[in-house]
Amino acid sequence: MLFNSLSFTFFLPIVFFLYWFVTKNNYRQQNTLLLISSYFFYACWDYRFLFLLMFSTLLDYFSGLKMNSAKSQAMKRTWFWLSVIINLGFLAIFKYYNFFAASFAESLSLAGIHVSFWTLQVILPVGISFYTFHGLSYVIDIYNDKIKAEKNFVDYAVFVSFFPLLVAGPIERATHLLPQIQRNRVFNTTQAIDGLRQILWGLFKKIVIADSCAQFANQIFNNSHAYSGPTLILGALFFTFQIYCDFSGYSDIALGTARLFGIELLRNFAFPYFSRDIAEFWRRWHISLSSWFRDYLYIPLGGSKGGTIKKVRNTFIIFIVSGFWHGANWTFIMWGFLNALYIMPSILFNTNRTNLDIIAQGRVFPSLREFMQMLLTFSLTVIAWIFFRAKSMRQAFEYIQDMFSGLFFKTQYEKALHFISGEVGYVLPCLLLFFMTAEWLGRKQQYAIQNISFRFSKPLRWAFYYGLVLIIFYFAGSGKEQEFIYFQF
């Protein structure tokens, strides 16, 4: 069930009505409803994988209880590693087995040994990387005595499988979400309206911007040898906006939907394309995953302590693992490696926490220095996204090589302009300009149009909302609908 599907437009109001009008003022009943709704939501993808989600939930639930009641550290450690190994084992089998088998066979072929290998002909369970990390953070926190195990299974199961975040995050922590699940929730009109506004903006980002950019990004990447260098740059830019609006659009819808039920989820994006260096970018991009790797991998490895060599080693480890988390392909590993290289100057010169404030604080426009820093960071990010989008390392390198070839020839730019006027048109560039302007003006907020009520009078505000709705419906009916990119992770 997609957030941008007709079925979800029926599902959400029904659950909302039952939640506030049938199970009103009884959070136990509300939690039971949320759990049933979440399992139904997940089963709509493939009911067979619902049993995998339930097994993972039961495993971590009982492991947590056993760790809490363990009479020795050895027994506690046993239950901890049992949960970690089984969870990562499922992830490895479904997501990484074929990659490792193929890589091993290729390594042997380089030595002159040719072997055939057995592959798994299964689809990847949607959201497995996300709900696995929910469970892992829970058992790790129990093991480290940061939290106590949850005794109520329904409460814990809702924490793992709450439907707004189930298939693509944000990756929640028990310390943040469980206390909200375990208390009475009273309907808050302001919170609900804010949620609807964020859902609207998320749908605009996904349906209007991301899906429109995807059409041309796919066309260019799938036929890259047929296009000029400047046109390939356009393709990389289209994918850059596609992946941001697709994933942050999902997060906006997830956070907005949760607010309708009186629950606040972790923020996942903070206008990353306005970053002045790569360190700032990673504090603003997929925040729940970046902080997860910081807390559960980088810091346990020693973090920034222990000298420069260990600091560099730990940085490369978390970025490469982050790349590998995204998918079983060398392109994702290269994407992580590139970002590790990008951030090295900040790590080596201890400037990784220089840009903690909002860019152009108190000003409408950035300074020339800020603009150049933002432009450089954005350009490096665009190049890294090429590896993320490419199907193979060879395609990525060839794409970059072709992208920079012929940049000094007038005819190449003429071809790019012809592509814009003949293929793209001028509606999408105007929408992108509108989108980036709205994001820039709203960069101090949780999402771009959060405080629109303070900017416009009521008639203008409602005209803006209706305008967004009409644009969304127009593009939704254009046949460009695509699945959210992060569903594959």
pLDDT digits (tens, 9 = 90+) for 23-76: 888 999 999 999 999 999 999 888 888 999 999 999 999 999 999 999 899 999
pLDDT tens, 336-394?
A: 999 999 999 999 988 988 998 999 998 999 999 999 999 999 999 999 999 999 999 99
Q: Return the higher-pLDDT residue of 487 and 267.
A: 267
Quick one: what percent of the chain has pLDDT higher than 90? 70
| CA–CA gap between residue 107 and residue 91 (Å, rounded) | 23
Confidence of residue 108 (pLDDT cuts 50, 70, 90): low
Write the DSSP assignment of 187-222 as a string of letters.
Answer: --HHHHHHHHHHHHHHHIIIIIIIHHHHHHHHHHHH
The alpha carbon of residue 484 and the mean position of all alpha carbons in its chain are separated, in whole angstroms, by 10
Mean pLDDT of the chain: 90
**pTM as predicted:** 0.93
Exposure pattern of 66-98 as b/e (b: 16+ CB <10 Å)?
Answer: bbbeeeeeeebeebbebbbebbeebbeebbebb
* pLDDT the model gives residue 109: 67
Average pLDDT for residues 230-238, to the nearest whole number? 94
Phi-psi region of 306 (alpha: psi -120 to 50; beta: other; left: phi over 0): left
* pLDDT the model gives residue 489: 66
Rounding to the nearest 10 degrees, give the CA dihedral for residues 98, 101, 107, 108.
-140
Confidence of residue 107 (pLDDT cuts 50, 70, 90): low
* pLDDT the model gives residue 168: 85
* pLDDT the model gives residue 421: 83
| CA–CA gap between residue 217 and residue 227 (Å, rounded) | 12
Lowest pLDDT segment from 189-198, 203-212, 413-422: 413-422
Q: Is the pLDDT of residue 129 over 80?
A: yes
Average pLDDT for residues 15-30, to the nearest whole number? 92
Other CB atoms within a 10 A radius of the CB of residue 479 amount to 8
Q: Are 264 and 162 in contact (CB under 8 A)?
A: no
Q: Is the pLDDT of residue 169 over 70?
A: yes
Active site residues: 326
Query: Which residue, among 83, 31, 15, has the nearest Cα to 55 in the 3D structure?
Result: 83
The alpha carbon of residue 240 and the mean position of all alpha carbons in its chain are separated, in whole angstroms, by 14
| CA–CA gap between residue 85 and residue 83 (Å, rounded) | 6
Confidence of residue 252 (pLDDT cuts 50, 70, 90): very high
* pLDDT the model gives residue 419: 83
Quick one: what percent of the chain has pLDDT higher than 70? 94
Query: Which residue, among 372, 386, 388, has the nearest Cα to 275 in the 3D structure?
Result: 372
Lowest pLDDT segment from 119-123, 187-191, 243-247: 119-123
Q: Is the pLDDT of residue 420 over 70?
A: yes
Average pLDDT for residues 105-129, to the nearest whole number? 70
